[in-house]
Amino acid sequence: MGACAKARTGNRRTLVSAVSGFAVCLLLFPLVDGCVSDEVNDASLLTAYQRRLAAAGPQPRLDTTAMIDGEALGILRPAETDSPIVPDLRIDVDPNTGQKVVTLTVEQAMSLAMANSPEIRVVSFDPEIARQEVTRAAGAFDLTAFNELNYEDQDSPQNSIYEPGQAETRLFESGIRQTSPLGTEWSASYALARIWDDLYGRTLPTRYEPVVIFELRQPLLRDAWEEVNLAGVNIAKLNYEVSLLDFRERAEAVSSAVAVNYWRLVQARKDVEIQRQLVAQTDETLRKVEGRRDIDATDVQIKQAQAYAMSRRATLLELQKQVMDAQDALARLTADPRVNTTSDILILPATEPQAPAELPELAEAANRALAVAMRQNSAVQRAQLGIEVADINVQVAHNQKMPRLDLVGSTRARGLARDESEANEQIDDADYVSYAVGLTFEYPLGNRQRQAQWMRRRLERRKAVSTLHSTADQVAISVKEGVRRVRTNIEQIQLQHQAAEAARIHLATLEEAEQIRDRLTPEFLLVKLQAQETYAQTRRAEVAAQIELNVAAAELAQTTGTILDLRMVESSLTSLVETASEDGESQKVAVPQDPLHFPRSPSLGPIR
């Protein structure tokens, strides 16, 4: 009984010492330097918008898999949610036809697309995935705590009095280890062993052997210092910025598509209205000709008027189809539960196309737009990030072709006693301390593998620089073409307006002359019908010039990387971020730019 009680007491002391050793290791945790941050730059309106979409997840739809029987269209229909609806739309019902009608401004269309576009949601997850890769890379430098419990019972035949036949060992070890950004590999541990054996002549058959160990390896050439060891973290952060650029580029593309399709819908509806007026004028002309059948109108003249009337009605049908096509294209981008590709609703655009009061100076506008594009175009910024990644790879490859020279060192404090507390006191008093220090050197003869890798990285950097130059040149061409397109459309608006006014006066003159003519000749009827067609065509051409100007301005803003700074886009992003904010604080937003002027100091700024 006494031996059993003594064994239980020894086990409790062993456990207490083990817990104490582990506690010491934990106390060292806050004192250890070398923790690597995984924080990324996300203090912008764009990243707040991206994180809001990623946190919301896929858009709720009536059917997410297209597998529900009887709900073939469910995957196309967004589902209603409890979230605040942005923006609030007014949907009316036409009392004559019962058709649902929504009056939509370009700002509302942009807000709907920014909130619901599946194209943007697809890429909104990529920055979050890249953010986790940053955390994973930084996690390589985290502290690692390790523990070991081991029991060994040995029973072997003896062949010498200097060898034990039976032995029992109980071992506990606890410690921490880490690799620092400097490349240092270190570990600190405490171990306690309780050993018994039957070796003849052993002074302490049962003994406690505690030991405190600290080991370190510091590279001095290869694998040394922060610029090499943090390369993975830095590249992961650059890749995060690349993924954010990809998200921004998709948001810019969708914003541009919304603007373009909205103006196309405006144009299509104006064309229909102009064509309806032309059809009404032609019908009125036909009615007058038929009314003069018994006076001076012949069957040839009547058939001539009827041919024009039928042809213009056919054109009206084609233009009405174009309205529905343009509406579906816009509805696909909005993807709202109220306005989508399956909703039976008519969209009436409420925003009129804009035109500047004066003609911008071409050279100044082009230079300003080029300067903005070189700072903010997503493709240019992505190429710049590619050079930064290549620089890091070159630096790492240059380090890897160096010889390996490591400083190694270790120190141990040991104890040995019959009693556990006495053995630990020997460690506390540093009675038995040993240490070792040295250098290890390694030089690969030939070193062709690492030399080749270094040359490859240098060539990759040259390629990255050339890619930047090529991308910048392509963007510059697109910007200059866009500037010329805007200026040409402004000039065309003025000319088409004058042409429409001249055609209106010509038609009005013919209608006045018709009242005083003695007889209706085929030549006069043909001139009048052609004048009606010319007036309608010039009006449509004037509308087309106005629409093309707004389309060109939106596409130029996309090329320069400033479309997200336009008032109609930026206000949409701000409202979405503020709606999703839990604390209710407003996102600080700079003054937006006029959509037809070239931004001088974009409010969203570059990604980096």
List all residues 6 or more positions away from 57 whose beta carbon is below 8 Å from its beta carbon: none
Q: What SS3 state is found at 242?
A: helix
Residue 275 covered by a domain: yes
* Domain identity same for 242 and 281: yes
Q: How far apart are CA 354 and CA 344, in angstroms?
A: 30
pLDDT of residue 605: 33
pLDDT of residue 84: 57
**In contact, 596 and 553? CB cutoff 8 Å:** yes
pLDDT of residue 88: 76
**In contact, 365 and 182? CB cutoff 8 Å:** no
* Domain identity same for 244 and 358: yes
Residue 155 covered by a domain: yes
Residue 380 covered by a domain: yes
At 546-595, the pLDDT tens digits run 999 999 999 999 999 988 887 778 777 787 777 665 444 433 433 333 33
Sign of the alpha-carbon torsion through 449, 454, 458, 460: positive
* Domain identity same for 197 and 308: no
CA distances from 217 to 161, 400, 407, 548 (A): 40, 17, 6, 68
517 Ramachandran zone, left/alpha/beta (phi>0; psi -120 to 50): beta
Gyration radius of the chain's alpha carbons:
40
* Domain identity same for 546 and 423: no
Model confidence, pTM: 0.81
As beta bridge partners, residue 212 has: 190, 413
In a 10 Å sphere around its CB, with 0-12 CB exposed, 13-18 middle and 19+ buried, how is residue 241 labelled?
A: buried
* Domain identity same for 248 and 330: yes
* Domain identity same for 13 and 126: no
Which two structure tokens, joined as six digits, stand for 429? Answer: 């008093």
* Containing structural domain, residue 25: 2-31+150-179+184-222+404-442
Residue 372 sits in a domain whose CATH number is 1.20.1600.10
Residue 228 covered by a domain: no
* Domain identity same for 274 and 372: yes
Reference 165, options 209, 200, 194, 204; nearest CA is 200
pLDDT of residue 587: 39
Residue 605 covered by a domain: no
The strand pair at 185-197 and 432-442 is best described as unpaired
**In contact, 168 and 195? CB cutoff 8 Å:** yes
User: Could you tell me the end-to-end alpha-carbon distance of the chain, in angstroms, rounded to an integer?
Assistant: 75
* Domain identity same for 433 and 377: no
Residue 111 covered by a domain: yes
pLDDT of residue 11: 43
Q: Structurally, how many domains does the chain consist of?
A: 2
Residue 327 covered by a domain: yes
Which two structure tokens, joined as six digits, stand for 582? Answer: 């839990």
Peptide bond connecting 87 to the previous residue in cis, omega within 30 degrees of 0: yes
3-state secondary structure 77-119: CECCCCCCCCCCCCEEECCCCCCEEEEECHHHHHHHHHHHCHH
Q: Residue ranges of the chain with pLDDT lower than 70? A: 1-34, 60, 62-75, 77-86, 357-360, 517-520, 579-608
Residue 17 covered by a domain: yes
* Domain identity same for 520 and 420: no
* Domain identity same for 377 and 514: yes
* Domain identity same for 366 and 505: yes
* Domain identity same for 260 and 306: yes
Helix (H) or strand (E) segment spanning residue 189: strand 185-197
Helix (H) or strand (E) segment spanning residue 281: helix 231-291
